[in-house]
Each structure stands twice: as structure tokens, then as C-alpha cells.
Amino acid sequence: MCWGMISWNWKGPFWVWEQETEKEKANAMKAIKVYNINCTVEEKHLNDSWKLSVEWRELKEQKLKTLQEARAEAQRTGVKMKTTQSWRGKKYKVKSLKRGDPRGVDSWRYVTALARPLLWPTCKERLQQNPDFLLMEDNAPAHYSDFTTLERVKAGIPKVDWPPNSPDFNPIKHIWQLMKSRIQTRRGYERVTSITEMKETLQREWERITVQEVNKEISKLPRVMAKCIEQQGGNKFHG
């Protein structure tokens, strides 16, 4: 499996996943055990910090105003209205973590091996260049798990809210197809017989992808979205 990042006029870093070693698995289990022990402490710390923020104060003022209006309306009409007081509750809930499918990339490995050292620092660089930057990922479990989401929020990385069962408009899907096609074309004279050679081949093909090719795929978005609407949400919109 491999991972890459693109945006308009920009081709970002590339990553090829290595098979997790037994030592890495053992270290992960130890770290997760400590993390789970500290979940309650972490949750309290996050929520205590939130209650000192401008966001919490504004939420409290808004909810109290709504409550006052609801009480006034109840006195006028005699009908009670339910109101929420979310400012009294918790914004953060830190759940204990379990390892996912050992054959793939679970949220622990995604965060510790890729997101923290590579993805999120890159996002912060993009945010400095463009305050409106939003990270876009699909709904792979490792991308939207409670653990990944919490760690991403703590890192200050904003993300597109990708609804379930939505069409996949991500342009990088076609970059992967382009790389795959080029690798298959070259197989006749560039035999790939080992994992090391495959990794080198993937890296080489990523380097051959141009910014112009990235922009070409991104520029298709208005058309494919319009076609998807014509299909009433169907997935035959890339033709």
C-alpha cells in the first residue's frame, strides 16, 4: 500500500507502507496500554482546557440566551420547550483504543507512523500558506476513528466532513490509476521481482507525476460533480 498527497498546483510527499515488524507490534501494544490507562486523565485535561477557551464561553452565552428565550416563550404560551446545555458537558471523549485488522493499517499505526511525522506537519505548512486549507481523506477506518480524529484535532488540522455513502470525488484516485497504468506499461522491460524493487518503482512513478497532471484531475471536479447530480448521486460520473 502507498500514500500520497496532492493539491492544486502542488504535489506533496509520498509514502510506501512497510510490513509491521514483531518489535513494532510489541512496542505498539505497550504504548496503547499506557494510553488506555491515561484516557480518563487525558479526557479531563482536554475538557478543562476547553472550558477556559473562547469557544466554550461563546457556547455558554449562546445556550443561556436560548434558555432565557425558551423560558419567556413558555411563560407566554404555557408550553415548555426542551433546551440543551452542551456547555455543561464534555467536548472531548477519550475512548480506550484497540488494535485493528493486523493485515491492514489501523488508526494507531496510521497516526504514529504517518500522520504525526509526515501528514500533519505538511498540513501545517499548507495552512501557513493558505488559512482556508482543509484536509480531505476518504472514510477508511484509520482516517476517521475516534483516536485519529482526537489526535488530529489536538494537532490543529481542519478536515472536510466526508459524509457516509458519498461519491468518491477525490482526484488522487485517478493519480493512482495513472501510476498503475504506467507501471504495467513498463513491466515488459522493467521486471519487478522484489518488494524493494516495487517500492523503488512506486517512488519513481510518483516523481514522474507532474503538477500539470495533478491540476488536470482537480480541474475535472466541477464537471464530474455536475454529472453525479445528473445521475442522482450515482457513481457513473467519471466517463
Q: What is the pLDDT of residue 45?
A: 95
CA-CA distance, 175 to 157, in Å (whole number)?
Answer: 24
Cα angle 125, 207, 177 (rounded to 5 degrees) comes to: 100
* pLDDT score for 238: 63
CA distance 177 to 191: 19
pTM: 0.83
**Which CB contacts under 8 angstroms, 24+ apart, belong to 130-133?**
133/158
Q: What is the rounded distance in angstroms from the CA atom of residue 167 to the CA atom of residue 69?
A: 41
Instruction: Report residue 14: phi and psi, to 5°.
Output: -130, 145
Q: What is the DSSP string of 53-102?
A: SHHHHHHHHHHHHHHHHHHHHHHHHS-------GGGS-S----------T
Mean pLDDT for back-to-back runs of 10 residues, the chain (239 residues): 95 94 94 95 94 96 93 88 86 90 85 97 97 92 92 95 78 93 78 85 95 96 88 73
Query: Which residue type occupies 135?
Result: L
Cell of 75: 411563560
